Amino acid sequence: NAGVTQTPKFRVLKTGQSMTLLCAQDMNHEYMYWYRQDPGMGLRLIHYSVGEGTTAKGEVPDGYNVSRLKKQNFLLGLESAAPSQTSVYFCASSYRANTEAFFGQGTRLTVV
């Protein structure tokens, strides 16, 4: 029972490089979310999706893009990484609006 799996778990990027973070869930959940966690700022919502083929902006979407071509996968892309994007990234998914979100283990990204 994998739940929510994030790939990779750690990554170091140089400024200007691009990368894609993968979130995969095997629970047939409709809703998926990407957050970043920075000290003292809690979890801030980057983008989210309420179903396959749909995406929406969260609180801090600039510099990120997402896609949800398959229900089970939610991809977060950084086109041109900046040091300000150094953070821990969490993916989460939930079945319905009134059910809890399950989280992945997080991805620690450092941009140098």
- Judged by the rule CB under 8 A, the positions of this chain that interact with another protein are 31, 33, 35, 40-45, 48, 50, 56, 58-59, 88, 90, 92, 94, 97-103, 105-106
Burial class (CB in 10 A: 0-12, 13-18, 19+), 48: buried
Could you tell me the smallest distance in angstroms from the CB atom of residue 1 to another protein?
15
Residues 49, 68: contact at Cβ < 8 Å? yes
Residues 9, 108: contact at Cβ < 8 Å? yes
Which CB sits closer to another protein, 35 or 74? 35
CA distance 57 to 39: 22
Kindly state the tokens that stand for 101: 């979100």
Which CB sits closer to another protein, 85 or 104? 104
Could you tell me the smallest distance in angstroms from the CB atom of residue 100 to another protein?
4
CA distance 9 to 110: 11
Could you tell me the smallest distance in angstroms from the CB atom of residue 73 to another protein?
19
Which CB sits closer to another protein, 18 or 105? 105
Could you tell me the smallest distance in angstroms from the CB atom of residue 38 to another protein?
10
